[in-house]
Amino acid sequence: MIKENKPNLSQDEIWREPVNLALFRKPQGKVHVIAERCKECNYCTNYCPNEVLERSTNTNSHGYHYVQVKAGKESSCVNCGMCQTICPDFAIFVTEVQ
Amino acid sequence: MSIEEVHPKSQFLRDERLPHIWCPGCGLGIVLQSYINAAEKSGIRLENHVLISGIGCTARLPGYANLDTYHTTHGRGIPFATGMKIANPDLKVTVISGDGDLFNIGGNHFIHAARRNMDLLVVCVNNFNYGMTGGQHGSTTPPSSLSSSTPYGNIEQSFNLPYLAAAIGASYVARWTVMHPRQFTKSLSKAMDIRGFAFVEVLSPCPPNFGKFNGFSDGFAEMEFYRKNSVVDNEAKLEDVSIDPHHGKQIILGEFVNKRRPSFIELEREVNRRAMVVEK
Amino acid sequence: MLPPGKYFTDGNFAATEGALYGGCRFFAGYPITPSSEILERMSRRLPEVGGHFIEMEDEIASIAAIIGASNGGLKSMTATSGPGFSLMQENIGLGMITETPTVIIDEMRAGPSTGIPTRVGQGDVMQTRWGSHGDLAPITYSPNSVQESFDLTILAFNSAEIYRQPVIIASDQVIGHLSEILTVGNPEEYEVIQRLTRKKANGNHNTFSYSDDFIPMFVPGTGFRGNVDSLTHDEMGYPSNDASVEREMLEHLLGKIKRNETKIIRFEEYMTDDAKVIVVAYGITSRSAKKAVKNARDEGLKVGLFRPITLWPFPEGRIVELAEKTRKFIVPEINYGQYSHPVREFSRRETEEIHFPPGAIPDFKIILREIERSFT
């Protein structure tokens, strides 16, 4: 229903830029994985808001398909820290890219 | 290990002992990280934080924290901590243990510590069953739950822990889940500054036991359950915050109690001052 | 502290004041007959000397609290009797495996179960040795007078500090409640071992050492960052499932007592030099036994008394020596035969048991009759 009533405008036409936008930049993060600690619980892959992470086809020495950054998504991390906070295994963390 | 593989919290961990013993999807690692973050923020010297536990999966948690840590006997974390706190009041003593340890075998000690307003922070990681021994039911297992010792469903009523703690007189009572790590961390940090008995319950998945028996395919499914079925209500009537997912009840989270009454250490100090005068 | 002088008082009073002399600054307990007077006196005395007292919800909590307090840096103790002592067993094991100095006074009363709370017994002797599960090397003292209740309590605190483990005083209802003269000397006459503590050195924070019998404890809050564990652990205190770690740990726990046995063991002998028959008795029974031995000597019978002051470790070496020139041992006890077992095992001599039912002080005439029978 809502979809039908939506004005037929493209994103560019409705988008209004804040006047001070130039002062801000989207934070960028780098994901680090300690593969040996990963237990494949999938919390980070599921809760990453930008869907940056996936399970590797490789396994670590304990037999778990550890987490890795998806190919082509290397610069999509916004350094929100959700993966680090939700990881029960201290296996993933992010650092800010300046 | 290359430089970039050192976890930012590694100085607070006994890094050489990782990976830990907990199952994939277990929330205890999140609890440990939240505790570390809270201790860091608490404004109390890190050396003064002492972590004490009883027995069980949760009770292994202190062993991974790079603090002064004590792993005691089943159910006896609170009386052990009571002795240590009285003997050494400068310490910030936290007891982290499971629901079985704190409320089944150790239930008596919990109610007495809360009654005394003993200066302790007690964190109960509630996974609704005995995880380490294979998922038997306990006093926190929700009604109708299946477990390895309730194959026909649990017929017992479970403890409503925040209601219990508040009724006995705890100074601080809160409940979160490991799906709410930021709120949980903030709550822990606040509880560390409480003079008196502070109690924080945190719900955590137990994928191979409680989860498996009760229709959660993995830890993520249980985490999603917490995400979708939890509401935060700090003003909730505590008699209504029991956990009963099998009968469609929402899980109520929040910071329920934060009140001030003189703590045991404060009162003891006062009495001892009077007694010393008698001696002179 | 109790001023030097002579006091006409009971064993519970003496034990309390002895504990304070020994440096006790933390008491947690639960009222139980016949040891309640210790708890009551502690509640008054400890705050006066800058210590801490707490009455816990049960005996399990009491012993957990004193082990916690000792780890927190204070010398601690509790006092109890049979039923409470049974409840404490698991955490006595905790004290052993975590090498925590503390003192437990067990005033034995008639059992089993609730038994006769106000009457004497000696049925906890084996429990002080084997009560907690697993292999242990406990130190147990057995006072037989009000004076010894005072002296041995100081000694128990010293042994606890030196050997870093719970030390048990197996007193009994009669010793706790009987009044006689207690002589307290000047404080400087009593050697008191102070708590030694350890700081983190060169980044080294091993909680335990299996090569050193006497490694001091660390105190929390000093940045040591040690782990103390009730699981089988290595020197770092980290848990291990490895049987070789279990062996290393146990050989340390048992070995530190075994290697120092001669320093720990205490006993008293009366006319044993030429004795052909030796009565082995401890606690209140030893006083009846001494009278029986005296009377038998008057009759010309070559009999002696051996009184172990440390029930455990067992004075094996001395019993073996005595057995060489003795043909028979007589072991009177207020139970149905407990201490007679190691006496028989180590002496390899005929060992007669005299069973006094718990509830009354042993009649010396029964012991005397048994001595006389041995010479006919």
- Tens digit of each residue's pLDDT (9 = 90 or more) over C71-83: 999 999 999 999 9
Closest CA to A47 of A19, A61, A67: A67
pLDDT of residue A1: 42
Contact between B63 and C65 using a beta-carbon 8 Å cutoff: no
| C11-30 pLDDT per residue, tens | 999 999 999 999 999 999 99
Among B53, B80, B97, the strongest candidate for a mutation testing the C interface, having the largest count of C CBs within 10 A, is B80
Residue A66 belongs to some domain of the structure: yes
Residue A65 belongs to some domain of the structure: yes
The answer to whether residues C163 and C275 belong to one domain is no
| ipTM metric | 0.97
Q: What percent of chain C has pLDDT over 90?
A: 97
Segment C267-283 mean pLDDT: 97
Of the candidates C189, C205, C221, which is a domain's last residue? C189
The answer to whether residues C88 and C183 belong to one domain is yes
The total number of structural domains in chain C stands at 2
pLDDT of residue C31: 98
pLDDT of residue C142: 98
Model pTM score:
0.95
The neighbouring-strand residues paired with B51 are B69, B94
pLDDT of residue C200: 77
Q: Which domain holds residue B14?
A: 3-279
Any B CB within 8 A of C342 CB: no
- The answer on pLDDT for B194 being more than 60 is yes
The CATH number that applies at residue B28 is 3.40.50.970
| C181-200 pLDDT per residue, tens | 999 999 899 999 999 999 87
Segment B63-74 mean pLDDT: 97
- The answer on pLDDT for A12 being more than 90 is no
For B158, the 3-state DSSP assignment is coil
Residue C26 belongs to some domain of the structure: yes
Contact between B63 and C58 using a beta-carbon 8 Å cutoff: no
The total number of structural domains in chain B stands at 1
Residue C155 belongs to some domain of the structure: yes
| Min Cα separation B125/chain A (Å) | 14
> Chains B and C: how many Cβ contacts under 8 Å?
148
The answer to whether residues C175 and C301 belong to one domain is no
Residue A37 belongs to some domain of the structure: yes
Among B21, B55, B82, B92, the strongest candidate for a mutation testing the C interface, having the largest count of C CBs within 10 A, is B82
Segment B97-104 mean pLDDT: 97
| B226-246 pLDDT per residue, tens | 999 999 999 999 999 999 999
Distance CA(B211)–CA(B29), nearest Å, equals 17
Predicted confidence band of residue B280 (pLDDT cuts 50, 70, 90): low
Name the residue of chain B whose CA is nearest to C67's CA.
B80
Q: Which domain holds residue C351?
A: 268-374
Q: Lowest mean pLDDT: which of A16-30, B155-169, B264-278? A: A16-30
Q: What percent of chain B has pLDDT over 90?
A: 95
Distance CA(B221)–CA(B208), nearest Å, equals 12
Residue numbers in B near C94 (CB within 8 A) = 72-73, 76
pLDDT of residue B1: 40
Distance CA(C289)–CA(B262), nearest Å, equals 56
The total number of structural domains in chain A stands at 1
pLDDT of residue C201: 73
| Min Cα separation C98/chain B (Å) | 9
Distance CA(C334)–CA(B185), nearest Å, equals 59
Question: How far are the Cα atoms of B26, B81, C71 from residue B58, in angstroms, in the given order?
Answer: 10, 16, 22
Measured at the CA of B19, the angle between CA B15 and CA B23, to 5 degrees, comes to 145
pLDDT of residue C48: 94
Contact between B68 and C225 using a beta-carbon 8 Å cutoff: yes
- The answer on pLDDT for B69 being more than 80 is yes
Segment C358-373 mean pLDDT: 97
Segment C144-149 mean pLDDT: 98
Of the candidates C189, C223, C238, which is a domain's last residue? C189
The CATH number that applies at residue A92 is 3.30.70.20
The answer to whether residues C27 and C171 belong to one domain is yes
Residue pair B143/B157 in contact by the 8 Å Cβ criterion? yes
The sign of the torsion formed by the CA atoms of C52, C54, C59, C60 equals: negative
Any B CB within 8 A of C219 CB: yes
Predicted confidence band of residue A2 (pLDDT cuts 50, 70, 90): very low
Any B CB within 8 A of A80 CB: no
| B123-164 pLDDT per residue, tens | 999 999 999 999 999 999 999 999 999 999 999 999 999 999
Residues in B whose CB is inside 8 Å of some CB of C read 14, 17, 47-48, 50, 52, 55, 60, 62-63, 66-73, 76, 79-88, 90-91, 108-109, 112, 268, 271-272, 274-276, 278-279
Q: Where do we find the tokens 């988008």? A: A15
Residue pair B173/B275 in contact by the 8 Å Cβ criterion? no
Neighbours of B172 (CB within 10 A): 26
Residues in chain B: 280
Name the residue of chain C whose CA is nearest to B82's CA.
C65
Distance CA(C119)–CA(C111), nearest Å, equals 9
The CATH number that applies at residue C334 is 3.40.50.920
pLDDT of residue B2: 44
Q: Interface partners of A (3+ CB pairs, < 8 Å)?
A: B
Decide the pairing of beta strands C102-110 and C26-29.
Answer: unpaired
pLDDT of residue A20: 84
Residue numbers in C near B108 (CB within 8 A) = 57-58, 61
The CATH number that applies at residue C33 is 3.40.50.970
Q: Which domain holds residue A51?
A: 27-97
Contact between A90 and B7 using a beta-carbon 8 Å cutoff: yes
| Min Cα separation B261/chain C (Å) | 19
Residue A56 belongs to some domain of the structure: yes
| C155-176 pLDDT per residue, tens | 999 999 999 999 999 999 999 9
Residue C203 belongs to some domain of the structure: no
Of the candidates C189, C220, C237, which is a domain's last residue? C189
Residue C360 belongs to some domain of the structure: yes
Distance CA(B278)–CA(B220), nearest Å, equals 62
Name the residue of chain B whose CA is nearest to C74's CA.
B87
Among C49, C71, C88, C94, the strongest candidate for a mutation testing the B interface, having the largest count of B CBs within 10 A, is C71
Residue C355 belongs to some domain of the structure: yes
Contact between A37 and B220 using a beta-carbon 8 Å cutoff: no
Residue A6 belongs to some domain of the structure: no
Q: At what angle do helices B77-87 and C59-72 cross, to 10 degrees?
A: 40
Residue numbers in C near B276 (CB within 8 A) = 47-48, 50
| Min Cα separation B260/chain A (Å) | 31
Contact between C65 and B91 using a beta-carbon 8 Å cutoff: no
Q: What percent of chain B has pLDDT over 70?
A: 98
Residue numbers in B near A40 (CB within 8 A) = 24
The sign of the torsion formed by the CA atoms of C55, C56, C60, C63 equals: negative
Contact between A39 and B23 using a beta-carbon 8 Å cutoff: yes
pLDDT of residue B103: 97
pLDDT of residue B279: 56
Q: What is the mean pLDDT of chain B?
A: 95
Residue in B5, B29, B182 closest to A88 by CB: B29
Contacts for C235 with CB less than 8 Å, ≥ 6 apart: C206, C207, C208, C209, C210
Residue A69 belongs to some domain of the structure: yes
Residue numbers in A near B10 (CB within 8 A) = 90
Q: Interface partners of B (3+ CB pairs, < 8 Å)?
A: A, C
Residue numbers in B near A43 (CB within 8 A) = 25, 219-220, 223
Q: Lowest mean pLDDT: which of A56-70, B258-272, C81-95, C195-209? A: C195-209
Contact between A40 and B24 using a beta-carbon 8 Å cutoff: yes
Contact between B79 and C76 using a beta-carbon 8 Å cutoff: no
| C212-263 pLDDT per residue, tens | 999 999 999 999 999 999 999 999 999 999 999 999 999 999 999 999 999 9
| Min Cα separation C129/chain B (Å) | 20
Residue in B5, B10, B25 closest to A41 by CB: B25
The sign of the torsion formed by the CA atoms of C7, C10, C14, C16 equals: negative
Question: How far are the Cα atoms of A36, B183, C100, C323, C365 from residue C293, in angstroms, in the given order?
Answer: 74, 76, 40, 18, 10
Residue C307 belongs to some domain of the structure: yes
Residue numbers in A near B26 (CB within 8 A) = 88
- The answer on pLDDT for A52 being more than 80 is yes
Residue C227 belongs to some domain of the structure: no
